[in-house]
Chain A
Amino acid sequence: MLRHLLIEVERLDFIRCENLTHIYNQGMENEYKALDNVSLSIKEGEFVTILGTNGSGKSTLAKHFNALLQPASGKCFVGGRDTSDEKLLWDIRQQIGMVFQNPDNQIIAAIVEDDVAFGPENIGMKPSLIKEHVASALAAVDMEDYRSFAPHLLSGGQKQRIAIAGAIAMNPQCLVLDEPTAMLDPQGRLEVMSTVKQLNHDHSITIINITHFMDEAALADRVIVMDKGKVVKEGTPREIFSDAISMKRMGLDVPVVAEVAFRLKDRGENIPEGIMTTEELVNALCQ
């Protein structure tokens, strides 16, 4: 009991945004407020999904986590470090690995292992240590057999796993994935999501996954919904997806099972709240 409590206490906020605002093209004619007073926190080891339509500010938010953007006002802290402090820039980027949407546009080297080594090389790691990190990063994404491959010969899912390996080779505490599966086929999506889940589970890496796919969101501990630059909803997938109407109103969706449960309930059937899996639906309907 006591130990359990201690663990709970130790799960500190890893990322904390306080009234974060971001404005593109500030002072110009096409000025655009992408983030509007966003406050949120993400705990160490947590798996968080951010949902939102295009233009809701998700990607902008993600870029603040890695100090790729600077707040117009408000603050963003990563592991207690202020992202607007230029001296801490490289520490922050080393702590947060990023994976982007297009697998082709983030692989730098023409050989898989050279690409994975890119990050460690940039932070001046010793060559012998780089080799170790590259090997364990490739093992973590299950791509050891492809270390001397040319990236353009790999499938989309494999390329994204290489991108993940490149990010975790720097030993980050957190991985931010900005729509990593948007350009992949179902197989590739499964590969990437199971890799991400495993990194969260086995290596306790904090995961922030931005996605348009509702079934991916269902894997997370917590879902944050953004709309027009603001955080509008926060909660477990179960809580978020039980309100199909407001999700659809925001241009989002809910997983098929949740939708079926919602519609049955809507037609007056006696169905419990928060059904997320086929199993739960079967239990509810066939008692």
Chain B
Amino acid sequence: MSINLENVSYVYMPGTPFERQALKNVSLEIPEGRITAIAGHTGSGKSTLIQQLNGLLKPSDGVVEVDGININEDTVTARMAKRLVGMVFQYAEHQLFEETVEKDIAFGPRNMGLSEEEIQARVREAMNFVNLDYDTYAKRSPFQLSGGQMRRAAIAGIIAMKPKYLVLDEPVAGLDPRGREDLLRKIKALHDKQGITIIFISHNMEDIARLADKVIIMKQGELLLEGAPEEVFEESEVILSAGLMAPKMSLIIESLKTAGMDIEGSAYTIQKGVSLIQDALRRKEKCLQK
């Protein structure tokens, strides 16, 4: 099972002077059970792309399928398929509106027509998952929380709907380093422990390198690169042409190689990079000893 896009194009405000093609013939697969990262410069079409995934925008041309079902048909199955995809917008805390955190998180599940016990159970579970203690925060106004807590409460509101696929648009934007770290860990855990398929947009290649199994890079509405991180990050020149930077670690490894250091393979996470450098240093020592 997966989300599939076939030759999807999207034009904003067709037939007006403001007409703009935001997606051009994009075909890609988002496999179930993985973490897929989407990167691109502002205006590269990545936000338009994710809005295609649950039918918020309908393609001008092409087909979007979730688990094999075309979600833009007017059928009950199509509507059910759309519900498999949960969406967390950028600065998700701006969608909070209820009097209490509990009520806000319950909003989505309640719209799904679930029983009160089920809703209650899901709210507790979701709050627990994003590290908001139920007894402390459930009855508080969401607007009394700190920025990072508000963000997590908003994400809990989507998790409580138990989507199979969870799309997050720049989930850590505007948070401080600690907040970024905490939230990225939570997202990883959502995947590892709950088995949710994650799709996230990020500008930060370091974060992408740490989390993603698959990387998609967009440029001017077109798919520029798609593949496993180790393949994609090899193309540092192409990534640069899209207005992005390959992960700092892979650039460091490249520089060291160019300077003549005997490094085997490539690395894009700090952990692996440091090990590779150490291996190279060991070999150098051995050579010198001989």
Contact = CB atoms under 8 A, between A and B. Distances in A.
Q: Do A and B contact each other directly (Cβ–Cβ < 8 Å)?
A: yes
Interface of A: 53-55, 101, 155-156, 182-183, 185-188, 212, 214, 251-253, 255-257, 259-260, 263-264, 267, 269, 278-279, 281-282, 285-286
Given A256-B249, A286-B260, 14 more contacts: A54-B146, A54-B148, A54-B176, A54-B179, A182-B174, A186-B41, A186-B243, A212-B175, A260-B277, A263-B270, A263-B274, A278-B251, A279-B255, A282-B259
Contacts of B243: 185-187
Interface string B139-153: 000000011100000
Interface in B251-288: 251-252, 255-256, 259-261, 270, 273-274, 277-278, 281
B37 to A, nearest CB: 15
A282 B277 contact: no
Interface in B209-251: 243-245, 248-249, 251
A55 B42 CA distance: 29
Contact of B178 (A251, A282, A286): A251
Contacts of A278: 251-252, 255
A101 B176 CA distance: 13
A176 to B, nearest CB: 19
Contacts of B244: 186
B186 interface: no
A163 to B, nearest CB: 17
B177 interface: yes
A260 B146 contact: no
B146 A257 contact: no
The prevalent SS among residues of B at the interface is: helix
A155 B43 CA distance: 9
Given A186-B245, A264-B278, A53 B176 contact: yes
- The residue in A101, A156, A256 that gathers the most chain B C-beta atoms within 10 A of its C-beta is A256
Given A264-B278, A278-B251, A256 B176 contact: no
Contacts of B256: 281-282, 285-286
A57 to B, nearest CB: 13
Contacts of A260: 249, 252, 270, 273-274, 277
Contact of B42 (A156, A214, A255, A279): A156
A251 B270 contact: no
Interface of B: 41-43, 146-148, 173-179, 203, 206, 243-245, 248-249, 251-252, 255-256, 259-261, 270, 273-274, 277-278, 281
Nearest to B177: A253
B248 A257 contact: yes
B176 to A, nearest CB: 5
Contacts of A186: 41, 203, 243-245
Contact of A267 (B178, B251, B278): B278
A223 B41 CA distance: 30
Contacts of A185: 41-42, 203, 243
Contact of A53 (B173, B178, B251, B259): B178
B277 A264 contact: yes
A263 B277 CA distance: 11
Contacts of B206: 256
A53 B274 contact: no
Contacts of B277: 260, 264, 285
B177 A286 contact: no
B147 A54 contact: yes
Contacts of B175: 54, 212
A212 B177 contact: yes
Nearest to B251: A278
Q: 4 shortest A-B CB distances, which residue pairs?
A: A251-B178, A256-B248, A253-B177, A286-B259
Contacts of B173: 182-183
Nearest to B182: A251
Contacts of A279: 255
Contacts of B42: 155-156, 185, 187-188
A212 B42 CA distance: 21
Contacts of A264: 274, 277-278
